[in-house]
Amino acid sequence: MANAKESKSAGPAKPITIITPAELNKMEQERESAAAREALEKKRRAEAEQRALHEAFMTTEIGPEAIERFNAAVLKATEQGRREIMIGQFPASWCADGGRRINNAQEDWPESLQGIAKRAYDYYVKHLAPLGNKMRMEVLDFPGGMPGEIGIFFRW
């Protein structure tokens, strides 16, 4: 019994408090703030990644490894009975006109190309077209009614 008596006299019991609406509101604001910070950080990372991709798109050169990958892809497609492959895609916004000339199949569409797409087209004109190959580009999707992604297609 001594133990029971000692625990009773160990000290006053803490009063039970009820959480207030102000405390609940503060908790909700902190949660929303954390979610907003996370969304902003995610957006910043996506924008940084997009900038890095655009920089690579604008500066990448066509090297021997690209030609080896191209040849392997063409051989594989041929073995599968296909006569066309998509060799890449990029945002229409990376064209000088946002993809308008490609979308409208205007004769001067190659003039709207930039970066690696321009270099790929120039390589095609110099090395592949004389062999009888064909290249075309087309708008793959229209988010918000505007050209989205451009596909680069090679046909033999």
- CA 4 – CA 105 distance, rounded (Å): 91
- CA 44 – CA 59 distance, rounded (Å): 22
Per-residue pLDDT of the chain (156 residues; tens, 9 = 90+): 555 555 555 667 888 889 999 999 999 999 999 999 999 999 999 999 999 999 999 999 999 999 999 999 999 999 999 999 999 999 999 999 999 999 999 999 999 999 999 999 999 999 999 999 999 999 999 999 999 999 999 999
Spatial CB neighbours of 100, under 8 Å, sequence gap ≥ 6: 106, 112, 147
Pair of tokens at residue 118: 């321009």
Task: Give backbone dihedrals phi and psi of 149, rounded to 5 degrees, phi first.
Answer: -100, 145
pLDDT value of residue 13: 80
Cβ neighbours around 120 below 10 Å, total: 22
pLDDT value of residue 3: 53
pLDDT value of residue 132: 95
pLDDT value of residue 5: 52
Residues 153 and 105: beta-carbon distance below 8 Å: no
| pLDDT tens profile 114-143 | 999 999 999 999 999 999 999 999 999 999
Pair of tokens at residue 89: 């895609």
Pair of tokens at residue 24: 């609940």
Report the DSSP beta bridge partners of residue 155: 84, 134
Pair of tokens at residue 64: 């021997």
